[in-house]
Amino acid sequence: MRFAGKRDRFIFYVWLAVLFPFGGISGLIYWQESDFTPLYLLGTVWFILGLLFFIIIRSTHYTLVDNDTLVCQSMYFFKKTIPIQSIRKFEPANGFYAGLKMSTSWKCLILHYNTYDELLISPENEELFVAEVERRKTLINP
């Protein structure tokens, strides 16, 4: 069973927050140099950053495989495989988080697994995702 990543405007706001300093620096460079070359470079970096955010948003998903494994994947090549029996609990994230993130929205879940490991995730339908993980956990450990 595959769950897509939740999408909200958080990454769009981050992208815009990068635009304002880039725009200010670009305006300052043009005002001092009267040269468009640095503007093209900064605009290209901002555009590539937007493409990167788009790829992250479109490629993040969470897959329950073979009733005993959760695979969290982002950008087609970042993968985290977690055995379902090692999952301890889910809790809502409240504010900034310093750790491994495979989340595409501001409101997300902290997945606690193993003894001290945590992963920030944001499945599109959180309630269904948590219920399915808990159901599969009970199938493994009746």
pTM of the predicted structure, to 2 decimals: 0.78
Number of domains in the chain: 1
User: Per residue in 3-37, pLDDT tens?
Assistant: 988 888 888 888 888 888 878 888 888 888 887 77
In this structure, what CATH number is given to the domain that contains residue 50? 2.30.29.30
Candidates 118, 117, 98, 104; CA nearest to 75 is 104
Q: What domain range includes position 38?
A: 1-142
User: Per residue in 60-107, pLDDT tens?
Assistant: 999 988 888 999 998 888 899 999 999 999 998 877 777 778 888 888
Residue 129 buriedness (CB in 10 A; 0-12 / 13-18 / 19+): buried
